[in-house]
């Protein structure tokens, strides 16, 4: 069963990836141009959904930076090989200035958080921030949200050079983002403040009387003290629910619904959206329970998927997971039991 399903999936990757997501060439960064086209790419702290300079960091640009034709950095035997990297990248700042390094990524989330969300459209600036976030052990989503929040505060007069210790946090200032990142890593100056993250920064500014409480609450992109992942959900009720109703806060591990809602229009009714908000958090939680990668579920789809019942669930690939789980464990198992397993721990 495992060999048969693997053979089928390998054929899908070989035949369909180049005309679908191009995961083997660009990984999740393929989303950049698609989401910008639909006006749901976070720009300037989620204020906008696109920008005239977005083509400077779209999929075709990243394809030229990524090393091609090498085994995956996630698992060497993976046919999708979507974990991309940049080789021989020369750093211009920080403790490794002048060194040529290997950079893991950027993935979609990194490219947006460290790019369009802070109005940075030079791919090299994004790659450098990506490297130092990895090196310092800082989440790129958290950092991109934090810098976006601080830049919006700067642009609205809430922050100034006196309050930031001279760091000029204007939109698009990649040097300032990097300087702040290095300051935080060294435990110095305004970097210590930036290290608080969006929720505690917002609370601190309100307590100090820096800016209007309502405005600060509106621009602080956090929920349950966690920073938002990189999808503009203002017109997607499904993704709004996905962000607000998850256990961990507004990440997309449990309910990544923006694409099926806003791009493919697979859940047009309130009933469809409600069912998606019930099913997908359980379904996607199951990947973690079983130790499976989720990208083989819907980042390439069977050619006839649109003709299937409930195409948003990619039923043939759900059945792949069922068959593999049964073969490995020897247990009776079906797609209904899959959801029940997640319900027991959710």
pLDDT tens-digit series, residues 77-108: 888 989 999 999 999 999 999 999 999 999 99
Question: pLDDT tens-digit profile of 271-300?
Answer: 999 999 999 999 999 998 999 888 889 999
pLDDT, one tens digit per residue, over 126-141 is 999 999 999 999 999 9
Tens-place pLDDT, residues 28-42: 999 999 999 999 999
What one-character DSSP code corresponds to residue 87?
E
pLDDT of 72 > 90? The answer is: no
pTM of the model: 0.95
Residue 125 pLDDT: 99
Q: Which CATH number fits domain 21-232: 1.10.569.10, 2.60.40.10, 3.90.79.10, 3.40.190.10?
A: 1.10.569.10
CATH topology of domain 1-19+235-346: 1.10.599
C-beta separation of 13 from 300 below 8 A: yes
**Is the per-residue pLDDT at 247 higher than 90?**
no
- For 199-232, give one letter per residue: b (16+ CB within 10 A) or e: bebbbebbeeebbeeeebeebbbbbeebbbbbbb
- Measured CA distances, 242 to 251, 261, 282, 284, 304 (Å): 8, 11, 12, 12, 27
Between 9 and 188, the more confident residue is 188
Q: Encoding tokens for residue 39?
A: 């006006």
Domain residue extents for the chain = 1-19+235-346, 21-232
User: Is 90 exceeded by the pLDDT of residue 246?
Assistant: no
Question: What is the CB-side half-sphere exposure of residue 219 using CA atoms within 13 A?
Answer: 27
């Amino acid at each position: 069963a495992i060999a048969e399903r693997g053979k089928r999936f390998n054929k899908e990757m070989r035949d369909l990836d180049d005309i679908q997501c191009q995961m083997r060439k660009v990984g999740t960064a393929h989303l950049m141009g698609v989401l910008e086209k639909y006006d749901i790419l976070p720009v300037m702290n989620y204020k906008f959904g696109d920008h005239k300079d977005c083509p400077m960091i779209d999929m075709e640009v990243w394809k030229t930076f990524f090393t091609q034709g090498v085994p995956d950095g996630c698992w060497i035997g993976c046919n999708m090989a979507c974990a991309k990297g940049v080789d021989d990248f020369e750093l211009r700042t920080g403790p490794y200035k002048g060194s040529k390094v290997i950079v893991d990524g950027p993935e979609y989330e990194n490219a947006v958080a460290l790019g369009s969300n802070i109005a940075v459209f030079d791919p090299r600036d994004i790659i450098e921030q990506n490297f130092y976030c990895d090196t310092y052990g800082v989440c790129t989503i958290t950092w991109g949200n934090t810098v976006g929040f601080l830049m919006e505060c700067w642009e609205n007069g809430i922050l100034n050079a006196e309050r930031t210790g001279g760091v000029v946090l204007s939109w698009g200032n990649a040097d300032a983002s990097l300087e702040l990142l290095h300051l935080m890593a060294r435990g110095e100056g305004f970097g210590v403040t930036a290290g608080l993250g969006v929720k505690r920064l917002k609370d601190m500014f309100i307590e100090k009387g820096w800016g209007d409480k309502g405005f600060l609450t509106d621009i602080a992109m956090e929920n349950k003290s966690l920073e938002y992942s990189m999808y503009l959900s203002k017109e997607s009720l499904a993704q709004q629910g996905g962000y607000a109703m998850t256990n961990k806060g507004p990440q997309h591990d449990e309910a990544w619904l923006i694409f099926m809602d806003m791009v493919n229009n697979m859940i047009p009714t309130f009933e469809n959206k409600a069912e998606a908000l019930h099913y997908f958090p359980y379904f996607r939680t199951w990947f973690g329970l079983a130790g499976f990668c989720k990208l083989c579920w819907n980042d390439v789809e069977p050619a006839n998927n649109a003709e299937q019942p409930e195409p948003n669930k990619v039923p043939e690939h759900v059945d792949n997971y069922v068959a593999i789980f049964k073969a490995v464990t020897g247990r009776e198992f079906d797609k209904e039991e899959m959801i029940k397993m997640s319900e027991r721990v959710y």
